[in-house]
Amino acid sequence: MGVLQNFVVFEGGDGSGTSTQLGILKQRFAGGGPGALPPLVATFEPTGGPVGHFLRSALRGDIQLLGETMARLFSADRAEHLYKEDGVVQLAKRGSLVVCDRYTLSSRVYQGIECGDELPVILNKDFPAPELLLYFDVDPIIAFERCKQRSQRDIYERLNFQIQVRGRYRSLLDSCRAEGSCVVEIDASAAIDSVAQVVWRNISQLPIMKGCTGQ
């Protein structure tokens, strides 16, 4: 499967700030004035749909599932997200900029640790690659401190696991480049505002942003 234009993905370990940065980006687009910027669709995985909902109860530890089952559920959730009516593919093809917090690389990184590389690769090989992938890199010890302030922990928020997560992200970025995505590594230990500037710089260089004034 090829690259889906107008589709951007944020990736990173837990506590790397992807959700915060997506929120900042949304505000920037909301303040852009009519016609000044393309429509932004900010979305995330696991989704708020039925499979995503089920996954979240497994992530909270309410139900226990094999790593292999998690891998299958994440790819089922993703297929719905991409191909449903008004899903990611339709929206991006119609000219929205779709930015998604986590995508296939999360499955290859997280489920790869739990059930080996092969299954996540097979389950995700037919999904389109993003045009741009921003990887938020942060020392797991710093990220872990950030996660500590959250009321709810998920099953992957363990320091040893997050150290493996970071190693796997870094080792898999080149394979994303080989699939045709533009991959940018961002130092996510920097201040929120300076990370937001780097995000904006990269987003504003996308072909869909050509001729947009932004702010």
Residues that bind ligand TYD (CB under 6 A): 14, 19, 45-46, 59, 74, 101-102, 106-107, 110-111, 154, 156
CB nearer to ligand TYD: pick between 139 and 209: 139
- CA distances for 11 relative to 109, 110, 175, angstroms: 10, 12, 14
- CA distances for 191 relative to 2, 8, 83, 94, 134, angstroms: 35, 22, 36, 35, 17
Residue 11 near residue 22, CB atoms below 8 Å:
no
Q: Which residue is nearest to ligand TYD (CB)?
A: 110
CB nearer to ligand TYD: pick between 92 and 100: 100
Q: How far apart are the first and last CA of the chain?
A: 35
CB nearer to ligand TYD: pick between 45 and 131: 45
DSSP state, residue 94: T
CB nearer to ligand TYD: pick between 21 and 96: 21
For residues 188 and 180, give the distance between their C-alpha atoms in angstroms, rounded to a whole number.
24
CB nearer to ligand TYD: pick between 28 and 168: 168
Residue 14 near residue 154, CB atoms below 8 Å:
yes
Closest distance of CB 6 from ligand TYD, Å: 20
For residues 171 and 169, give the distance between their C-alpha atoms in angstroms, rounded to a whole number.
5
Closest distance of CB 37 from ligand TYD, Å: 25
Closest distance of CB 16 from ligand TYD, Å: 7
Closest distance of CB 73 from ligand TYD, Å: 9
Closest distance of CB 141 from ligand TYD, Å: 16
